[in-house]
Amino acid sequence: MAGEYNGGPREASPEIAAASPPRSLAQCLERGPLVLDGATGTELERRGVRSSLPLWSSHALLEAQEQVRAVHAAYVRAGARALTAATFRTQRRVLQRAGVRESPQALTERAVRLAREAAREASSEKIFVLGSAPPLEDCYRPDLTPAAPELAREHGDHARNLVRAGVDAVLAETHPSVREAVAAARAAREAGTSVLVSFVCWHGERLLSGEPLGDAIAALQPFEPLAVGVNCLPPSNVAACLPALQAAGRFLVYANLGKPDATTGFRHSEACSPETFAAHAGRWLDAGAGLVGGCCGTTPAHLAAVAQLVAQRQALGS
């Protein structure tokens, strides 16, 4: 019969292969820049949900799940193609400190489920869900970094919870020291998933610990991260970090417009309209960034401007 096929599996033509959706985050990153989401904690706060420390965005997992889902969905509609689940503070250490009885595994699974539900609600496209793996103590206090056995045990627990919850990769983010970032990356790989790692550099290209960004990136190479980068730093400081990031290969940048404050919840550091933020992102893309997004203080409007820029560049083939 004409057209009948009795052989083995067909190979897709180059045109069909190029058009088929990527099945993994690694495949997606091979195709061009990926738009990350923006802030979750400060966006929840902007919507009236309490987000005081130490729980930060985990308050909403306990008290305002619909708002968490709504924030994620707003970023997807804005054009983000990767969401970071609200697992920034679902580790046992933080929950015990805050007197929360719910288990870290249950809260982590809830955060990932809400991100998945939002993605399905807001888009028919493939939306990746990353699991946040931040420092166990304070992102801005490298001097509080726990000892090696605690890092291994607690980052291991968190990474396994994220993998059980079904994340596409672990995002070890907002790390101020090499030691803890390495522990988080090792934990993710031992749990059986890919990892992306991002550092905080507020003044020049040095981490808050004083370690050079280039040295930090080199220390991660044994764990084969999908990307390395910087986050939760002012847009004005990204330029100082670009040489080290470019030398690393694929990198990510998601700057903030301020940082958490123990008293007020958030403190602005740089006023930045969506258009201005997208202009910053354009410079990161020009330098070769493979992932761009926003951190504290950014909103769906900021990410919509970034997504529009990325779409325009892709349409022009640049």
pLDDT of residue 10: 36
pLDDT of residue 170: 98
pLDDT of 308 above 70: yes
Q: CB–CB of 90/111 below 8 Å?
A: yes
Q: CB–CB of 303/37 below 8 Å?
A: yes
Asked if the 30-316 domain carries CATH number 3.40.50.300, the reply is: no
Q: Model confidence at 219, in pLDDT bands (50, 70, 90)?
A: very high
pLDDT of residue 15: 40
**How large a percentage of the chain has pLDDT more than 70?**
90
Condensed to tens digits (0 to 9), the pLDDT of residues 51-86 reads: 888 898 999 999 999 999 999 999 999 999 999 999
**What are the domain boundaries of the chain?**
30-316
Q: How much helix, strand and coil, in percent to the nearest 5, is found in the chain?
A: 50, 15, 40
Q: What is the three-state SS of 53-85? A: CCCCCHHHHHHCHHHHHHHHHHHHHHCCCEEEE
pLDDT of 89 above 70: yes
pLDDT of residue 23: 81
The CA distance from 55 to 91, in Å, is 10
Query: Which amino acid is residue 33, in one-letter code?
Result: P
For residue 95, how many other CB atoms are within 10 A of its CB?
Answer: 20
pLDDT of 162 above 50: yes
The CA distance from 210 to 175, in Å, is 12
pLDDT of residue 260: 57
Q: What is the mean pLDDT of residues 305-313?
A: 97
Q: Model confidence at 276, in pLDDT bands (50, 70, 90)?
A: very high
**18 vs 185, more confident:** 185
Average model confidence (pLDDT) across the chain: 91
Least confident of 90-99, 222-231, 245-254, 270-279: 270-279
pLDDT of 284 above 50: yes
The CA distance from 61 to 67, in Å, is 9
Radius of gyration of the chain from its Cα atoms, rounded to whole angstroms = 19
Angle between the N-to-C axes of helices 65-78 and 104-122, in degrees from 0 to 180, rounded to the nearest 10: 40
Condensed to tens digits (0 to 9), the pLDDT of residues 106-133 reads: 999 999 999 999 999 999 999 999 999 9
The CA distance from 65 to 316, in Å, is 39
- Which stretches does DSSP call E strand in 93-204? 128-132, 169-175, 195-199
Residues 6+ apart with CB under 8 A from 80: 35, 36, 37, 38, 127, 293, 303, 307
pLDDT of residue 126: 95
User: What's the burial of 271, exposed, middle or buried (CB within 10 Å: 0-12/13-18/19+)?
Assistant: exposed
Condensed to tens digits (0 to 9), the pLDDT of residues 168-177 reads: 999 999 999 9
pLDDT of residue 270: 63
pLDDT of residue 22: 77
Q: Which of 215, 25, 54 is nearest to 131 (CA)?
A: 25
pLDDT of residue 262: 54
pLDDT of residue 318: 53
- β-pair type (82-85, 128-132): parallel
